[in-house]
Amino acid sequence: MKKRVLRLTAVFLIAFVLISGIDILSVHAETPYRTYTVDGYGYVQETQTAYLAHATITKFGDKFLDTPSDLYVTENGEIYVADTGNGRIIVGDLEGNLIKVIGEGTLISPKGVFVTEENNHVYVADRDAAAVFEFDENGQVVNQYTKPNSPLYGDNLDFLPIKVVVNEAGVMYIVCESNTNGIVEISPTDGGTFLGYFGTNFADQSIQTIIYRAILTDAQRAKMASNIPSTPDNLAIDKKGLIYTVTRGDKSKTLKRLNIAGKNLIDPDSYDPIPAAVTAGNHDNVYVASQQGYIYEYNNDGDLLYVFGGLDDGTQRVGLSTLVTSIQVDQEDKIYILDSDKCQIQVYEPSEFTNLLHRALYLYSKGRYTESKEPLTEVLKMNSMFDYANQAMGRAYFQEENYDMALRYARLAKDYEGYSDAYWEIRNQWLKKNIVEALLVILAVYIVIRVVKFLDRKKQILAKPKAFWENCKQKKVVSNLLYAKYFMKHPIDGSYGIAREGRASWAAPSILLLIFTIEYIVNKYLCGFLWKNVREGRYDILSDIGVVVIVMAAVTACNYLVCTINEGEGTVKKIYTYFCYSLTPYIMLTPVAFVLTHVLTDNEAFLVTLVQLLMIGWLVVLLILSIKEVNNYTGKETFKIIALTLFTILIMALLIFIIYVLWAQVFEFINSIFGEVVYRLGY
């Protein structure tokens, strides 16, 4: 015991004498990595450098690291490193001074380290020792927790702890290698009581697997790749005792924030495929480090603020990593990244920009909206496209009842909820102000119409236009166009007209299809912001037209093919006509829906939905009835034909795809020969 104290003292002395193993960059103008943020649509945008590489720690005192796997930074800035290769915990500071070494001789392969803030007890997850050690602040082992003997743990399961965090009550949350049941929760009472599994991930239940499970035999099912839930890769705990986990390959569940009941409270909008570590920041923010060196910062809601850093491309530049295993944030928002391959700790410090953003985050989270506008304005000055700042700015203006500005910022940030609220208020104000005028205008229009009609009765002032209209109606195309309206209201009679009375034509349906296409495109790109499914400023009209044409061609052709061999009476012209005529409800109702999307908010969204439902229902009814009537089918036959048509379309698509693939092969082959010729001739 005495020997140990002596050794510690010696270590202390040496620490002061030795040169520190730290490189601090004096001046840094540019970083070797870019910084990005994600906009409201999930598109990536470049932004100001958020964090600058500040220092690289390669050794503490004269102690180098060997494949370190975990890191913990305490509130007073002490750095604890699980120096796995050397079987010890190294404690040092940001200047690279060695403070002490813990667990030498006791630990075999320490993979995880955690330090409690109140009494500086050090918890170490040692994989090969199959135990979690608890050291006191002097480096003495206080407790050792091995495999729980509770039957709930699972007899056949090994206990291979790799990461550990501890809450205020001393309850340990342990990630164990190859234990898929979840995080092992052990309370310190009675030398370690197994409390159960926590934050279990669920196996992916895609439609595909569900279908497979339904149709496969037991033997086949057994052969399928086992569908075992993934184990969390790392975890962290914040001051409120919430547990953060990262799990690779779990898509939007990659990052989770779990409350004490194990319920997930966060839904990140971007995630990393190979997350390595997670930590909670000082402003309700969360940091995730990818194994490949990307560092993500999220706000409280899981909106990505920044992603920066990156994989070292072999040029060995400061700030790029090769194999990240841990991330920590200190009181000054400095980020510590442990690189197991480079055996170093890379420290990043926040830029001016990030400091402002953090201040805004803090004020906003405290509900001090007006105050938060000041740093937000500065942030937007530096980057007017910063999504989170626009959103927060919009919400702040909303609190101040400046709805026009709130609307503007919400739209910039694609904050649909904020936009809807602001729009509601603006509309409300408009209505209050203009309701009388609006009513008067409507009244005036009504009176004008009445007067015109009255005059027409007395003096026939509309005689000429009326005659012209009658004249027009005589034209076949116009008459056929007008017939679509009749068809819509009387599908059975209308179908009869198509089948028997020569109402089938090419021109009129094509005009309808054209109107449909135009309406479809206008509605898609210019409808109210809240209903828009496409990114603002993005137009892809050619493919929209292509889709309409291809779908129409496919349904007409396939329906015709199916009908002819099923004694249907439709010709191509008739079939084309009824498909186009069936679109009439869309043509009639979409303008209504379009106008509604411009005046309604989320609160009244159901009105638009109602119109859309009506439209689709009507359209389907028209389709079914016209197929039935024109081809003279019974109800049962009709449904058979519809199913067959759909199936034919599927087969056709498949066929085209196969032909395409074959052609690509041929093309590739010809290309290869060309390549060979180029190579041979050296041309």
Partner 1 sequence: MAIKNKKVIAWILAAAMIAAAPNTISLAAQVEDAAAADEAEESGAQANGETVLDNGEVVMEGAVGKVDESEWVTLDDYELVAESSTYKMYLYEPRLSIILENKETGELLESTLNDAKDDGNSNKSWNGYMKSGIVIQAIVGTVNTYQVDLLTCDNTIEVTKTENGFSAKVFFTEYQFGLTVNVSLEEDQLIVNIPDDSIIEQKEGSYISMISLYPFMGYTFLDDEEGYMLIPDGNGALIHLNNKEGRYSTGFSQMIYGKDIGFTDSATQALLWDEVDMVRSANQVIAPIFGMAHTNQNLGYLAVVEKGDKRASVEAHPNGVMVNYNRCFARFLLRDIYIQPLNNSNSGTVTNVEADRTHTDLQVRYMLLSGEDANYSGMAVTYRNYLLDNGLVTIKDNGYNTRVDFLGTDREEFLMGTKAVTVTTVDNVEEIYKELQAAGISSMLSVYKGWQKGGIYNLPISKYKADSHIGGTGALTKLIKESEENNYHLYLYNDALRLNPSTNSSTFNVVKKVNKRTFKDEFWANVYKTFMYQTSKKSDSTLKKFVKSYTKKGVSNLAVEGISNTLFSSSSRGSFMTRYDCAADYESTLASIDENTNLILQQPFAYLWNYTDAFLDMPLGSSDYMYVDEEVPFLSMVLKGVIPMYSDYVNFEANKTEFFLQMIESGVYPSFYITYENSSALIYTNSSDLYSTEYNTYKDTIIEYDEKLREVAGMVDGALIIRHEKLDNGVTVVTYDNGVAIYVNYSGQEQTADGVTVPAMSYKVGEA
**Residues in contact with partner 1 by the rule CB under 8 A:** 23, 25-34, 36, 39, 44-50, 52-53, 56, 58, 64, 270, 292, 294, 307-311, 313-320, 351-353, 381-386, 412, 536-542, 668-669, 671-673, 675-676, 678-680, 682-683
Do 158 and 144 touch, CB atoms closer than 8 A? Answer: no
Beta carbon of residue 515, minimum distance to partner 1 (angstroms, whole number): 18
Nearer to partner 1, 228 or 681 (CB): 681
Do 232 and 245 touch, CB atoms closer than 8 A? Answer: yes
Residue type at 570? G
Nearer to partner 1, 189 or 316 (CB): 316
With tokens 């604890």, the residue in question is: 80
Do 340 and 324 touch, CB atoms closer than 8 A? Answer: yes
**What phi and psi values does residue 98 have, to the nearest 5 degrees?**
-90, 130
Nearer to partner 1, 198 or 353 (CB): 353
Rg (CA), the chain: 35
Beta carbon of residue 89, minimum distance to partner 1 (angstroms, whole number): 22
CA distance 214 to 486: 47
Nearer to partner 1, 617 or 675 (CB): 675
Beta carbon of residue 268, minimum distance to partner 1 (angstroms, whole number): 13
Q: For helices 507-526 and 584-599, give the axis angle rounded to 10 degrees.
A: 20
Beta carbon of residue 291, minimum distance to partner 1 (angstroms, whole number): 12
Beta carbon of residue 199, minimum distance to partner 1 (angstroms, whole number): 26
Beta carbon of residue 34, minimum distance to partner 1 (angstroms, whole number): 5
Q: Is 227 helix (H, G, I), strand (E, B) or coil?
A: coil
Do 513 and 548 touch, CB atoms closer than 8 A? Answer: yes
CA distance 505 to 476: 9
Nearer to partner 1, 38 or 361 (CB): 38
Query: Residue 334 is encoded by which pair of tokens?
Result: 């400095």
CA distance 461 to 176: 90
Nearer to partner 1, 231 or 270 (CB): 270
Nearer to partner 1, 153 or 336 (CB): 336
- Kind and range of the H or E element at 471? helix 463-474
How many residues in total does the chain contain?
Answer: 683
Nearer to partner 1, 468 or 669 (CB): 669
Nearer to partner 1, 241 or 546 (CB): 546
Beta carbon of residue 526, minimum distance to partner 1 (angstroms, whole number): 11
Beta carbon of residue 271, minimum distance to partner 1 (angstroms, whole number): 9
Beta carbon of residue 19, minimum distance to partner 1 (angstroms, whole number): 10
Nearer to partner 1, 382 or 511 (CB): 382
Beta carbon of residue 28, minimum distance to partner 1 (angstroms, whole number): 6
Nearer to partner 1, 223 or 381 (CB): 381
β-strand pairing of 51-60 with 44-47: unpaired
CA distance 288 to 538: 31
Longest CA–CA span in the chain (Å) reads: 121
- Kind and range of the H or E element at 231? none
DSSP letter for each residue of 364-413: HHTT-HHHHHHHHHHHHHH-TT-HHHHHHHHHHHHHTT-HHHHHHHHHHH
Beta carbon of residue 276, minimum distance to partner 1 (angstroms, whole number): 14
Query: Residue 387 is encoded by which pair of tokens?
Result: 């999504």
Closest by CA to 52, choosing from 22, 29, 79, is: 29
**What phi and psi values does residue 482 have, to the nearest 5 degrees?**
-65, -25
